[in-house]
Amino acid sequence: MAEENAKPTYSSLEPVDKKKGGLTASSFIFVLLALDSMGFVANMVSMVLYFMYVMHFDLAHSSNLLTNFMGSTFLLTLVGGFISDTYLSRFTTCLIFGVIEILALVMMTTQAYSKHLHPTKTCLSNCVQGRIAAMLYGSLCLLALGTGGVRGALPALGADQFNRKEEAKLLATFFNWFMLSTTAGATIGVTAIVYVSMNVDWYWGFFISTIAAVIGFSVLAMGKPFYRLQVPGDSPIIRIVQVIVVAIKNRRLPQPGSSHELYEISEKESNYTEEKIAHTHQFSCLDKAAILGEGSKPEPWKVCTVTQVEEVKVLTRMLPILFSTIIMNTCLAQLQTFSVQQGSIMDLHLGSIKVPAPSIPVIPLLFMSILIPLYEYFFVPFARKITKHPAGITQLQRVGVGLVLSAISMAVAGLVEVKRKNQANKDFTKPISLFWLSFQYAIFGIADMFTLVGLLEFFYKEAPAGMKSLSTSFTFLSLSFGYFLSSVFVDLINAVTKRVAPSKQGWLYGIDLNKNNLQLFYYFLAILSCINFVNYVYWASWYKYKADETDLKLQLKTLHQTPLMHNDTSVVQESGSKIDEAATSTEENKEKVAT
């Protein structure tokens, strides 16, 4: 069925000017990523100490404030993704939220500089009140909004620079370089900026982060002539709601016998230029949204296209994958909170050099800086010959590797904490070296390299064209839930263990780690990660990769080019069934790849 004079619901991402885009345009984005990550990651690993030593929060409150801030930051990526898909281009969205981020960093620099905006040194608890609280929480809220908004639009802006012909190989390359740029900037941040914050003054660290962000967003703006920019269209949220509402309205209608009875816009009878998505049989209840009643006109809220229905199916299939990665990000939160607090009471010397505790993540970052190019230029070509997959291994396989490594990282973290505490109880004047923490950081760094890049590529590639930003925001949504869940676990573990422990104190009570049972918390997360991995394997095996109509073109081209006699009605009658068979075959092949 076809809609006459139909208009495109959102613009195509295919470039009009083929001279734009590609790795040249992406280079501006890589510069921003490196400079912005310098300050973001440096603050992420060191702010827990800023909250403890400057704002006088205790151990649990410092950790929870940081994890809640990080959770809010990544949750707000949905705002950036939604705006850039609906109202503004991804480029404009990045610049607007970049200004908000810079304003927040200026506020944090001002508070760190002004002693009048610090709690008094004699204050031991509940010290942040009045204007101090307003400045602290106001700057954190703006920083979360600005940083989150940028990260909600930036990955899709970069991926848009590659058209569909290049997508199979260069898109995977883009996301690997995306991760490498972030890693390079983070390496400088956790060494140089953290050193300045801990040994010179906190306001200098925030100031350097501000300057780096200003330069980064200026470079992004300079690259505008080189970018392929999409024109935003209909709200992806509205499109999803329309399918659900119309499917409910049509719930009593009989299910069509063939997918060709469902409503779709004909390319010949409309100027619809966006990609079509082939019909799938999962969640068949949603297909009723594409049933056009007899005598009815194809109008919004009365009928949806097959493509629109399939968009909702794709997003629905993604949700179990999203939720299966939350536990891993809960583990990540511990490396930025409790592990940093562990490091602050360990031997910080490397020879004659005193290393700040928040700088320990430089070890996995250096690992990743070496491993990402090796992965891209050696492993991927080798694996591609075996698997015939353009990226070497599928995105979901990459995520699975990361989940296994995150569980191992938490088990190692528990063992290291046992060794640290035994030595502290034996002779607290001779603590073990800070670099014992490098084992858990290095393992998790490799895990993050696999999982983060795999998720970004997976959510971008599988997303419908009009929901690319919103979909890539799912990666950061998983991070958000992980950080929030960390806060819940800390409070819950303390509440439960306080009741059952002989000392009547929780595992994570107070500020003295030597009297706590942090190692048991790490073991708890390791066991939970193993259970979660089994859950992930089930959903990854169940997932069916999106099959769009471009996958059918080679099969259909042969069909359409077959010369037909004027009265050869049998071929015409069979053409519809052959198309269905081709779609089913493509769907089954992609299902096999998913596992």
pLDDT top residue among 549 and 531? 531
Copy the structure tokens of residue 50: 């800023």
99, pLDDT greater than 80: yes
**Most confident residue range from 31-40, 120-129, 378-387:** 31-40
Q: What is the mean pLDDT of residues 215-233?
A: 87
Mean pLDDT is lowest, of 171-185, 230-244, 309-323, 443-457, for 230-244
Give the per-residue pLDDT at 104: 94
**How far apart are the two ends of the chain, measured CA to CA in Å?**
35
Written as one letter, the residue type at 327 is I
Extract long-range pairs of 311-314: CB within 8 Å, 24+ residues apart.
Answer: 311/236, 311/239, 311/240, 311/243, 311/277, 311/464, 311/466, 311/467, 312/239, 312/240, 312/243, 312/244, 312/283, 312/286, 313/280, 313/282, 313/283, 313/286, 314/277, 314/462, 314/463, 314/464, 314/546
Name the phi and psi angles at 349, rounded to 5: -90, 135
Q: What is the mean pLDDT of residues 175-192?
A: 88
Copy the structure tokens of residue 144: 């979360």
Name the phi and psi angles at 350, rounded to 5: -120, 95
Q: What is the mean pLDDT of residues 572-585?
A: 44
Q: What is the mean pLDDT of residues 411-426?
A: 90
- E strand segments, 272-401: 349-350, 353-354
User: Is residue 125 very low, low, confident or very high in pLDDT (cuts 50, 70, 90)?
Assistant: low
363, pLDDT greater than 90: no
Q: pLDDT, tens digit, for every residue of 435-457?
A: 888 888 888 888 888 888 888 88
- E strand segments, 309-430: 349-350, 353-354
pLDDT top residue among 528 and 569? 528
- Reference 280, options 553, 541, 540, 588; nearest CA is 588
199, pLDDT greater than 90: no
Q: d(Cα 393, Cα 390) in Å, to the nearest integer?
A: 8
Q: d(Cα 468, Cα 457) in Å, to the nearest integer?
A: 11
571, pLDDT greater than 50: no
15, pLDDT greater than 50: no
What is residue 354's three-state secondary structure? Answer: strand
Give the per-residue pLDDT at 238: 83
Q: d(Cα 460, Cα 475) in Å, to the nearest integer?
A: 10
Q: pLDDT, tens digit, for every residue of 351-362?
A: 777 777 778 778
569, pLDDT greater than 70: no
Task: Give, in order, the Cα–Cα distances in Å from 207 to each of 60, 155, 473.
Answer: 27, 26, 28
Q: Are 95 and 146 in contact (CB under 8 A)?
A: no
User: Is residue 585 very low, low, confident or very high in pLDDT (cuts 50, 70, 90)?
Assistant: very low
Give the per-residue pLDDT at 87: 84
Q: Are 498 and 512 in contact (CB under 8 A)?
A: no
Give the per-residue pLDDT at 233: 66
- Reference 36, options 98, 89, 79; nearest CA is 98
Q: Are 425 and 463 in contact (CB under 8 A)?
A: no
Total residue count of the chain as it appears in this document: 595
Give the per-residue pLDDT at 557: 46
Q: pLDDT, tens digit, for every residue of 539-565?
A: 988 887 765 444 444 444 444 444 444
Q: d(Cα 561, Cα 528) in Å, to the nearest integer?
A: 56
How high is the mean pLDDT of the chain?
A: 79
Q: pLDDT, tens digit, for every residue of 463-519?
A: 777 777 778 888 888 888 888 888 888 888 888 888 876 666 777 776 677 878 888
Task: Give, in order, the Cα–Cα distances in Å from 304 to each of 2, 185, 310, 432.
Answer: 11, 45, 10, 64
Q: d(Cα 246, Cα 93) in Å, to the nearest integer?
A: 32
Mean pLDDT is lowest, of 40-49, 82-91, 257-266, for 257-266
Mean pLDDT is lowest, of 53-57, 164-168, 454-458, 466-470, for 164-168
Give the per-residue pLDDT at 18: 61
Copy the structure tokens of residue 279: 């019909």
Copy the structure tokens of residue 582: 């081709």
Q: Are strands 349-350 and 353-354 parallel, antiparallel or unpaired?
A: antiparallel
Give the per-residue pLDDT at 526: 94
DSSP string, 508-572: T-SS-GGGS-HHHHHHHHHHHHHHHHHHHHHHHHH-----BGGGGHHHHHHHHHS---TT-HHHH
595, pLDDT greater than 50: no
- Reference 138, options 98, 97, 110, 96; nearest CA is 110
**Most confident residue range from 108-122, 216-230, 356-370:** 216-230
Mean pLDDT is lowest, of 69-78, 373-382, 405-414, for 373-382
Give the per-residue pLDDT at 537: 93
- Residue 293 CB burial class (10 angstroms; 0-12, 13-18, ≥19): exposed
Give the per-residue pLDDT at 169: 67
Quick one: what percent of the chain has pLDDT higher than 70? 83
573, pLDDT greater than 50: no
Q: What is the mean pLDDT of residues 273-285?
A: 73
Q: d(Cα 150, Cα 136) in Å, to the nearest integer?
A: 21
pLDDT top residue among 561 and 433? 433
Copy the structure tokens of residue 254: 């009989």
593, pLDDT greater than 50: no
Q: Which residue has the tokens 């060494």?
A: 191
Cβ within 8 Å of residue 586, ≥6 positions away: 278, 547, 551, 552
Give the per-residue pLDDT at 109: 93
Give the per-residue pLDDT at 234: 67
Give the per-residue pLDDT at 412: 93
* Dihedral sign, Cα of residue 1, residue 14, residue 580, residue 255: negative
Mean pLDDT is lowest, of 59-73, 228-242, 400-414, for 228-242
Measured in whole angstroms, the distance separating CA 31 from the mean position of its chain's CA atoms is 19
